[in-house]
Amino acid sequence: MIIHEGYSSLNLVNPVVTQGIFDGVHRGHRSLLDCLVARAGEIKGETVVITFSPHPRLVLEQNTANLSFLTTIEEKKILLEDAKIDHLIIIEFTRTFSNIRACDFINDVLVNKIGTKHLVIGYNHHFGRKGEGDFKTIKKCTESLDIIVEQVKGFQTEEGAISSSLIREALLTGRLDDANRWLGYSYPVTGRVVKGRQIGRTIGFPTANILPDDQFKLIPANGVYAVEVYLDNKKYSGMLNIGSNPTVNSDPKIKSIEVNILNFDRDIYDREITVIFRKRLRDELKFDNIEQLAKQMELDKLKTLQILT
């Protein structure tokens, strides 16, 4: 996949284009991307995905403190390449850009700059100033243009159409199995290992404290998880806790992400690791003493090994 920062100096062959935020690049997105690939094959063209960075909500909303997203731009690149996309165009999203009318964007960018031959959009896609560019608007704007517009229906489950907001809600409420099923892969978080209070070391379960690379990366609900840990392209099993560690910490505002990497004894401070959330084991609990906590962690370890091996 070729990545373009902006849309100048493009030389595309019969581009079949879609655009959107694609937060999560979940199964709903994949159904649209599969259609994109199929249409490109029919006309011997190239697939093109247009996305925006930073996320529009970070630019348009005054209070961004509570915003969180499923994928960083780097994760998005990997997932789109896995979907066999030929070209990814990343457009810088600014307030000025947000005021471009939908028809102007179609004419000036999609047609004149990119040379779009076939435009594929999602069932609820909106773009342009104040989201005015829905399917009807797009059809009207392209009536006199040599461009085919196709709308793809949402990917349906028993709960309805899969959406990024549905997956975010599942992760934030501890429904990891649902989130992973709708994503089509197990949810990842990447970050650097930073120094913690080293309490786990005193009870036989040393942990690596993770500081996520992206401050807006969604962190799943508090609890204990069975995870896979990737370090230097090697995979390890681990059990991870998200929360305030109430047994040893009296301040609930202090929250951490700590992973005990099983059968591992190396100094990895300031190293980057990725954790893949495979199964939620339990809620975070407050025990009467550290001994009870250690016993529970032994049980968690057994469950983790059963799940991951």
CATH topology of domain 2-161: Rossmann fold (3.40.50)
Please calculate the CA angle 95-10-40 and round it to the nearest 5 degrees.
Answer: 100
pLDDT in the model for residue 202: 57
CATH 3.40.50.620 domain locations along the chain? 2-161
CATH topology of domain 186-308: Elongation Factor Tu (Ef-tu); domain 3 (2.40.30)
Higher local confidence (pLDDT), 227 or 289 = 227
Residue 27 confidence class, pLDDT cut points 50, 70, 90: very high
pLDDT in the model for residue 267: 87
Q: Are 93 and 52 in contact (CB under 8 A)?
A: yes
**Residue 170 has which token pair?**
């599942």
Residue 304 confidence class, pLDDT cut points 50, 70, 90: very high
Between the CA of residue 129 and those of 7, 22, 60, 61, what are the distances in Å? 19, 19, 12, 15
**Is pLDDT above 90 for 198?**
no
**Is pLDDT above 90 for 58?**
yes
The 10s digit of each residue's pLDDT in 201-248 is 656 688 899 999 999 999 999 999 999 999 999 999 999 999 988 777
Average pLDDT rounded to a whole number, residues 86-111: 92
For the chain, give the percent of residues with pLDDT over 90: 67
pTM of the model: 0.92
Least confident window among 46-60, 83-97, 219-233, 281-295 = 281-295
Residue 49 confidence class, pLDDT cut points 50, 70, 90: very high
The 10s digit of each residue's pLDDT in 100-135 is 888 899 999 999 999 998 999 887 777 777 667 777
Average pLDDT rounded to a whole number, residues 286-291: 84
CATH 2.40.30.30 domain locations along the chain? 186-308
What residue ranges in 168-271 does DSSP mark as E strands?
A: 188-194, 208-212, 223-231, 234-243, 256-261
Q: Are 77 and 1 in contact (CB under 8 A)?
A: yes
